[in-house]
Structure 1
Amino acid sequence: MKTIKNLLMLFTAVIALAGCSSLRTASDYDKNVDLNGYKTYNFYQKGIDRVRLNNLDKRRLIAAVEAQMNAKGFTKSDKPDLLVNLFVVAREKTDVYGPGYYGGWGWGGGWGWRSPYWGGGGTYVNQYIEGTIIIDFLDPNKKILFWHGQGSGFNLDNFTKREERLNTGVKEILAQYPPNAIAAK
């Protein structure tokens, strides 16, 4: 019985960790804007100054965006066609994992699932700060937002492989630009 209980707790922990690691991305754009006209970029400095990250992570985020923009064929310029604006939104998350295999199931009477020998296990609580990274493309001449991308699900409390996770997240967000490339796949 103890082996089964340990296996179920391990399975629950694996499922919980798998659920926490997934990044949810989305994007939107102005369908009236010709995206082919944009070849150069730079960062919207007022937006960068307001990003609520420590300086290490802010530099990592900017470097990740630069790497992806360069990979897409954009060139960084002092007089850019588009400005990249960044936001980071954080919120406190609490995940509660309980012994889902105990109580309510089985035949009762002290046997089967409700057996007192089965045990109830503990309740596990995981509290962390979840971040959403928002990347906006602005046209400095028309003064409009023409593309918006975001990725939610970054665990901002976890410092393990943080730079790698930021790079992967930015890559997944910017994979949605240009939108026509997504539709062609």
Structure 2
Amino acid sequence: MKTLLLVSLLAFAACSPVRVESTTQMPGVNFAAYKTYNFMDVTARNEDVFRGSSASVEQLKQAVARQLEQRGYQRADTPDLWVNIGVVTQQKVQTRETNIWDAPRYIGQRNYHWQSQEVPVGSYREGTATVDIVDAARNEQIWQGIAASALSKDPEKLAARIDEGIADMFKAYPVPPRQ
């Protein structure tokens, strides 16, 4: 029974609508030495910010702030760390592959050729959020996380995906959350 529960939980986690693309960190950095953070101006990166939705950027900032504060960092006007958030959205096409059951049903003298192909079935917008942590004194990026997800039109689902994506991203952050 325990095995079935574990397999079910792993399958559910694998079906998450949010995926962490990558996390990287500069080697040899003592992340525990930093105590404060603040956000850079998001518009400075000149990216498509959720089609101009400043509410989504604020949700990203709040999610990142929660993760950093769980790790003992405090927000300050002259921080040890700058947080730079970049957001890119793009239109994607959802497809499915045709199978042998979609093949022509004609049987006769002519030699028909059938080939599997991708058929468009819908479209959606996908958002990718990049969180860069920058050492303010040296002006060097010391950590980066990238997460992507299909963007929901439902504000509550979008907020939940943002929280989930940032939380998953920060699992790889070198400073664990405090208990």
Provide TM-score, normalisation by structure 1. Answer: 0.68
How far the C-alpha of 1:78 sits from its partner, in A, is: 1.2
Contact 1:42–1:82, Cα closer than 8 Å, also in 2? yes
The one-letter amino acid paired with 2:151 is L
SS of structure 2 residue aligned to 1:161: helix
> Aligned partners of 1:56 and 1:36: how far apart in 2?
31
Describe how 1:1-185 pairs up with structure 2 within 5 A. 21-45=17-41, 47=42, 50=45, 52-53=49-50, 54-98=53-97, 100=99, 102-103=101-102, 125-152=121-148, 154-159=149-154, 161-178=157-174
Contact 1:48–1:85, Cα closer than 8 Å, also in 2? no
Question: How far does the alpha carbon of each residue in 1:122-147 deviate from its partner, in whole angstroms, 9 at most, with x for none?
Answer: x6612111111100000111011111
> Aligned partners of 2:147 and 2:120: how far apart in 1?
27
Same amino acid, percent of matched pairs: 26
Provide TM-score, normalisation by structure 2. Answer: 0.70
SS of structure 2 residue aligned to 1:78: coil
The one-letter amino acid paired with 2:59 is R
SS of structure 1 residue aligned to 2:101: coil
The one-letter amino acid paired with 1:128 is Y
> Aligned partners of 2:168 and 2:16: how far apart in 1?
16
Contact 2:18–2:165, Cα closer than 8 Å, also in 1? no
SS of structure 2 residue aligned to 1:141: coil
The one-letter amino acid paired with 2:40 is Y
Q: Provide structure 2 residue ranges, at least 5 long, that are not aligned to the other structure.
A: 1-13, 108-118
Contact 2:18–2:150, Cα closer than 8 Å, also in 1? no
Contact 2:93–2:120, Cα closer than 8 Å, also in 1? no
| Alignment partner, residue 116 of structure 2 | none
> Aligned partners of 2:140 and 2:153: how far apart in 1?
35
How far the C-alpha of 1:35 sits from its partner, in A, is: 1.7
Contact 1:25–1:172, Cα closer than 8 Å, also in 2? no
The one-letter amino acid paired with 1:144 is E
Contact 1:25–1:150, Cα closer than 8 Å, also in 2? yes
Residues paired across the two proteins, number: 146
> Aligned partners of 2:172 and 2:90: how far apart in 1?
24
Contact 1:48–1:86, Cα closer than 8 Å, also in 2? no
Contact 1:29–1:146, Cα closer than 8 Å, also in 2? yes
